Amino acid sequence: MHRRLLALLGLGFILTALFIVAGQLEDGGKKERLTYALARYPATLDPTAVTDESGAAVLLNLYEGLVRFEPGGTGIEPALARDWNVSPDARTWTFYLQEDISFTDGTPLDAAAVRDAVERQLNPETAGPYASFVYGPVTRIETKGRHTVIFHLKHPYAPFIRNLAMLPAAVVRPSPDHGLPIGTGPFVPSAIESARITLKANPAYREGPPHLKEVLFVVIPDPHERWRALAQGRVDVAENTGAALPATGPDSLVIARTPGLDLSYLAFYTNKKPFDNPAVRRAASLAVNQQAIVDYLFPDRAVPAIGPLPPGTLGHHPTLGADAYNLEEARQLLDQAGYSGEEITLITYQDRRPYNPAGGEKLAHLLVEQLAQAGFKVRVEAYPWEICKHAIHRQEGHAFVFGWVGDNGDPDNFLYTLLASAQIQTGTNAARYSNPHVDMLLGRAQQVTDEALRERLYRQAQELIAADAPWVFLNHRLETAAHHPTVKNLVVQPTGGAYLAQVRKDDQ
* Strand intervals (E) in 261-410: 262-268, 302-304, 344-349, 378-383, 399-405
Q: In this structure, which CATH number among 3.30.460.80, 3.40.50.970, 3.40.1790.10, 3.10.105.10 belongs to the domain 262-479?
A: 3.10.105.10
Rounded percentage of the chain residues whose pLDDT exceeds 70: 92
Three-class secondary structure of residue 137 per DSSP: coil
Mean pLDDT of 220-242: 93
Mean pLDDT of 312-322: 90
* 8 Å CB contact between 283 and 333: yes
pTM, two decimals, is: 0.91
- Residue 381 is predicted with a pLDDT of 98
- Residue 394 is predicted with a pLDDT of 97
- Residue 110 is predicted with a pLDDT of 98
pLDDT digit string (tens) for 96-152? 999 999 999 999 999 999 999 999 999 999 999 999 999 999 999 999 999 999 999
Q: What is the CA radius of gyration of the chain?
A: 24
pLDDT digit string (tens) for 29-56? 578 999 999 999 999 999 999 998 889 9
Q: Picking from 175-184, 212-221, 362-371, which range would have the lowest pLDDT averaged per residue?
A: 175-184
pLDDT digit string (tens) for 399-450? 999 999 999 999 999 999 999 999 999 999 999 999 999 999 999 999 999 9
pLDDT digit string (tens) for 342-371? 999 999 999 999 999 999 999 999 999 999
CA distance linking residue 473 with residue 163, whole number of Å:
25
181: which DSSP letter?
Answer: P
Confidence of residue 182 (pLDDT cuts 50, 70, 90): very high
CA atoms within 13 A on the CB side of 369: 11
pLDDT digit string (tens) for 158-169? 999 999 999 999
* 8 Å CB contact between 435 and 451: no
CATH number of 1-51+185-253+484-508: 3.40.190.10
- For residue 123, the tally of other CB atoms under 10 A from its CB is 10
What is the average pLDDT score of the chain? 92
Asked whether the bond before 274 is cis by omega within 30 degrees of 0, the reply is: yes
pLDDT digit string (tens) for 58-107? 999 999 999 999 999 999 999 999 999 999 999 999 999 999 999 999 99
**What are the φ and ψ backbone dihedral angles of 376, each rounded to 5 degrees?**
-80, 145
* 8 Å CB contact between 343 and 439: no
Burial of 268 (0-12, 13-18, 19+ CB in 10 A): buried
Confidence of residue 17 (pLDDT cuts 50, 70, 90): very low
- Residue 364 is predicted with a pLDDT of 98
Q: Which residues contact 117 (CB under 8 A, 6 or more apart)?
A: 171, 172, 173
Domain edges within the chain: 1-51+185-253+484-508, 63-184, 262-479
- Residue 25 is predicted with a pLDDT of 54
Report strand pairing: 196-201 vs 187-192: antiparallel
- Residue 6 is predicted with a pLDDT of 36
CA distance linking residue 454 with residue 266, whole number of Å:
26
* 8 Å CB contact between 302 and 477: yes
CA distance linking residue 260 with residue 250, whole number of Å:
26
* 8 Å CB contact between 410 and 388: no
- Residue 325 is predicted with a pLDDT of 93
Confidence of residue 277 (pLDDT cuts 50, 70, 90): very high
Bigger pLDDT: 361 or 11? Answer: 361
CATH topology of domain 63-184: Dipeptide-binding Protein; domain 1 (3.90.76)
- Residue 252 is predicted with a pLDDT of 81
- Residue 28 is predicted with a pLDDT of 54
Mean pLDDT of 19-24: 42
CA distance linking residue 78 with residue 180, whole number of Å:
25
pLDDT digit string (tens) for 236-266? 999 988 755 554 455 589 999 999 999 999 9
* 8 Å CB contact between 482 and 237: yes
Tell how far CA 389 is from the center of its chain: 20
- Residue 13 is predicted with a pLDDT of 39
CA distance linking residue 370 with residue 482, whole number of Å:
33
- Residue 8 is predicted with a pLDDT of 38
Flag whether pLDDT at 224 surpasses 80: yes
- Residue 250 is predicted with a pLDDT of 52
- Residue 50 is predicted with a pLDDT of 94
